[in-house]
Structure 1
Amino acid sequence: MQPIHSIQVLRALAAFMVAVHHVQPDAAIVAMHAGLSFSRSDILPWMAGVDIFFVVSGFIMVHASQDLFGRVGAAPTFLKRRLARIVPLYWGMTTLFLLVGFAAPAALNSGVPSLGQILASYLFWPAVSTQGVVQPVYSLGWTLNYEMLFYALFAVGLLLPRRWTLPAVTLALAGLVGAESMGGPLPLPFGFWGQPIVLEFAAGMGIAVLRKKGFRLHGALRVAVAACGVAVLFAAAHGWDTEGTWSVVLWRGSAAVLLVLAAACGRERTVPPAFPIRALAAVGDASYALYLVHPFVIRGLREVVLRTGLASPGLYIVLALGGAVLAAVLLYRYFERPATRLLRRWLGS
């Protein structure tokens, strides 16, 4: 199935937002060493990039799995495809993180993980870290723990008749959230899985259904929907109450839904997109790599900048974000994509 360029662009922007969030504390350290002032920018709630990812994920799972609905053997085929896509890069980054942590513990902001936490991290199972937080060894993997829950529920849904797949997945997600909200706190892993953010997967699935039924936003209306999404993000970043799991989802999640709706339900293009869109879409292809690799680039370049005396926070941010994008594109081309193809062949998917 042909990729939707606007969705790929949105994936690139979402990953970049998360990188912007993470680069700023290191920029403050660079500024402090140089005796300069630095004020972080929160013009947008940068971690809303995760919410966009979750809505996009719900959309893509339905959009890209049309050939599986109602088919014999659909569930294992789906799981094999997703494992081939997710596992190689995440396991690689987790292993790299562990190697760095064992070689230079001071370079990381976390304690030595237990063997149980390490095992749980590789299995995408929610576990309590040495800091008392439910997160894997490589902390960015908390989002993948949610993704794997969604994939597992989606695979189970594919065992059902076609018309029941999406309602069953949605009901399961809502049931987890309802149980945690009304009867919680629940023990792990259910307390983790029952957070309202998982409802964003269901929202993305709904957008895919709308698109399949022919729903389209044209011209000014599409721009208006996207603008509303950006406006909600601005509101979430400036003065509105966005504390608490439900408030975060209501604000950041609703903005993500509007942005994905505008990206996914536009008019079909009959001509190739312009160069800037193609370039952003290429970064979108590498968005998973950008999400996982950017902390290594940010921290590595921080040390380079401090040791070379080029301690300008502005220059550092440009170098770190640009370096993260370049590293992600290279990682996608020379590791992620070949590893995914190899594992798919090995799994027979």
Structure 2
Amino acid sequence: MIFATIGTVSAKSIATRVKAEYNAPTALAAQARGFWHNPQLLRLISAYAIVYIHMSRVVSAVHIDPVVLEILRFGTDLFVVLAGFLTAHVLGNGKSAGAYLRKRLIRIVPLYWGFTVLAFLVENYAMTNHPNSLTELLRSLAFVPYGPYPVLYPTWTLLIIVEFSLIIAAFQLVSAEYGVFYSAAFAVLLAVAGRISGTTDPILVLYTNPMLADFALGIIIFKLASSRSLLFRLPPGSAVIVAVTAVTFGAAAAVLRPFCWPGLPRLLTLGVPMSLLLLGVVVLEQLDVYSNSKLLSFLAKCTYSIYLTHWFVNIVSEKLVDESGDSARLAMVLLFVTPVVITYFSVFVYLYAEVPLTRYLSNRFLTPER
């Protein structure tokens, strides 16, 4: 089943690794809310929305209105809202701030460094129109912005995620009980400060990005779910109506945004709708309405690899379109083929780079949990 998506290269080896990763969610799901199925599915949806956002050259060759592509901007905000939700989930399960931050950095930093260096080499030696200086590379590796985007430009949101990881770890040291609330409030304050100041400094622009408020929204939703608030104590019929309404409104708002209210602040037009979408699927999961597909759960684990690798596949698709003279027929094929190739590549990276590297570093730098 899985090989229809990821191909057949080294089939026996891949099958062994996939089987081991495949079964992990089942064990977690046996615990009380040890694993959230619906939010993980949203992670996968957000990842592929981001993939298509960065296929604008191919989409243009198919003569699709660019406004349609704008709909998929929801993927970035959904990704960040989910990051806040899942971070609160991890810390809510009793993980210390130090353990959380070490595990977070071990998973994020080495792979990011590797693909940033690879992007630097590709842009400087294979794409003469996108050269980067060594200083820009070093700043990107240090998560310090020097302009609108780092060397591997789709990872600009990762810089915000790392920033928030540091913020929430710091506040957890101050208060294990209320740290997530303090960090959410601080993130909102940073976003407001950036909005008010009107700064143009690249560092301040990124570190006060309004999208920081999306983390706070994700944390609020997790706290609502974990505290069993009034919403989660409604009769099942009423809860289903609320959940479906939230999902419908959130999805509809994202679709209508570029057509009806493109000039409104992104927090209102994407952050809040994606939070409602997440709230709806969380309520449904609390009612035991969720996707339990092992395939989707496995692919959801690969979202970080999708996030880091899709740019490399996309530039090949763009090159093919350019060489074909903007062939609409080829571009239409690439709209479907490119995500499949990205999936293959990202699963391979996940199995043979992300998992072994994370486990190796975890064994060296993390204290075994009891």
User: Does the TM-score normalized on the shorter chain lie above 0.5?
Assistant: yes
Asked whether 1:254 is paired with 2:276, we answer no
Q: CA deviation at 1:123?
A: 1.3
Q: Is the 8 A contact 1:176 1:190 kept in 2?
A: no
- Conserved in 1, the CA contact under 8 Å of 2:194 and 2:209? yes
| Matched-pair contact (CA < 8 Å) for 1:286–1:332 | yes
Query: Any conservation in 1 of the 2:113–2:141 contact (CA below 8 Å)?
Result: yes
Amino acid at match of 2:308: L
* Alignment counterpart, residue 148 of structure 1, candidates 149, 154, 162: 162
Structure 2: runs of 5+ lacking an equivalent: 1-27, 29-33
How far is 1:305 from its partner?
A: 6.8
Write out the 4+ residue segments of structure 1 that deviate beyond 6 Å after TM superposition: 269-272, 305-310
Q: Which runs of 5+ in 1 are unaligned?
A: 32-36, 129-133
1:60 to 67, 83, 86: 86
Of stretches 151-160 and 338-347 in structure 1, the one that deviates more from structure 2 is: 338-347
Q: Deviation of residue 253 (structure 1)? A: 0.7
Counterpart position of 2:259: 238
Distance 1:43 1:181, change over 3 A: closer
Q: Using the TM superposition, name which of 80-89 and 292-301 deviates more.
A: 292-301
Which residue of structure 1 lines up, in the alignment, with residue 208 of structure 2?
194
Structure number with higher helix proportion: 2
Q: Distance in 2 between matches of 1:312 and 1:126?
A: 36
Give the structure 2 partner of residue 337 of structure 1.
355
How far is 1:344 from its partner?
A: 1.4
Distance, in Å, in 2 between the alignment partners of 1:341 and 1:295 is 26
Determine if contact 2:154/2:311 at 8 Å carries over to the other structure.
Answer: no
Aligned to 2:177: 163
Counterpart position of 2:311 = 295
Aligned 8 A contact 1:44 1:233 in 2: no
Deviation, 1:176, is 1.5
Q: Quote the Cα distance in structure 1 between the aligned partners of 2:288 and 2:211.
A: 36
Structure 1 residue 231: Cα displacement? 0.8
Which whole-Å deviations, capped at 9, do the CAs of 1:27-57 have from their partners, x for residues lacking one? 435x6xxxxx555571662122010011000
Q: Is 1:83 the counterpart of 2:105 in the alignment?
A: yes
Q: Which amino acid aligns with 1:6?
A: N
Compare 3-12 and 41-50 and name the one that shifted more: 41-50
Structure 1 residues 313 and 53: alpha-carbon distance in aligned structure 2, compared to 1, 3 A threshold: same
Cα pair 1:6 1:263 within 8 Å, conserved? yes
Q: CA RMSD in A?
A: 2.6
Change (3 A) 1:211 1:140: same
Aligned runs of 1:1-349 on 2, under 5 Å? Answer: 2-29=34-61, 39-40=65-66, 42=68, 45-68=71-94, 74-106=96-128, 110=130, 112-128=131-147, 134-185=148-199, 187-215=201-229, 216=232, 218-242=239-263, 247-268=265-286, 273=291, 277-303=293-319, 312-349=330-367
- Give aligned pairs, total: 326
TM-score (normalizing by structure 1) = 0.84
Moved more, 261-270 or 321-330: 261-270
- CA distance in 1 between counterparts of 2:73 and 2:54 reads 9
Tell me the TM-score normalized by structure 2. Answer: 0.80
Q: Following TM superposition, by how much is the alpha carbon of 1:199 offset from its aligned partner in structure 2, in angstroms?
A: 0.4
CA–CA distance in 2 between the matches of 1:337 and 1:60? Answer: 19
